[in-house]
Amino acid sequence: MTPGRRFTRAPRTKSKRLAVPSPASYSSFGKDRIAIMRLELRMPANIWYSAFTLRHTDLVVEVTSVAPVPGNNSLAEVEIYGPAVDWSKEIAEFPDVQEVHRLSLRPDLGRYSIRYCQTLIISIATELEILIRYPRTIQNGILTCETIAPVSQLRKALAVLRELGTDPRITSLRRDALRSVRLTLTPSQGALFRQALALGYFEVPRRISLTQLAERVSRSKSSVSEKLAVVERKLAHSASAAGG
Question: How far apart (Å, rounded) are the C-alpha atoms in residues 117 and 95?
Answer: 9
**Sign of the four-CA dihedral 45, 48, 53, 56:** positive
Nearest alpha-carbon partner for 194 in 82, 88, 44: 82
pTM of the model: 0.65
Question: How far apart (Å, rounded) are the C-alpha atoms in residues 138 and 14?
Answer: 21
Beta strands in the chain (DSSP E): 34-42, 60-69, 73-81, 97-106, 109-117, 131-139, 142-150, 169-174
pLDDT tens digits for the chain (244 residues)? 434 334 334 444 343 333 444 444 555 555 568 888 889 999 999 999 999 999 999 899 999 988 888 888 999 999 998 888 999 999 999 999 999 999 999 888 899 999 999 888 888 888 888 888 888 999 999 999 889 888 888 999 999 999 988 999 998 888 754 444 455 677 788 788 888 888 888 877 788 888 888 888 888 888 888 888 888 877 776 655 544 4
Question: How far apart (Å, rounded) are the C-alpha atoms in residues 48 and 96?
Answer: 7
3-state secondary structure of 108: coil
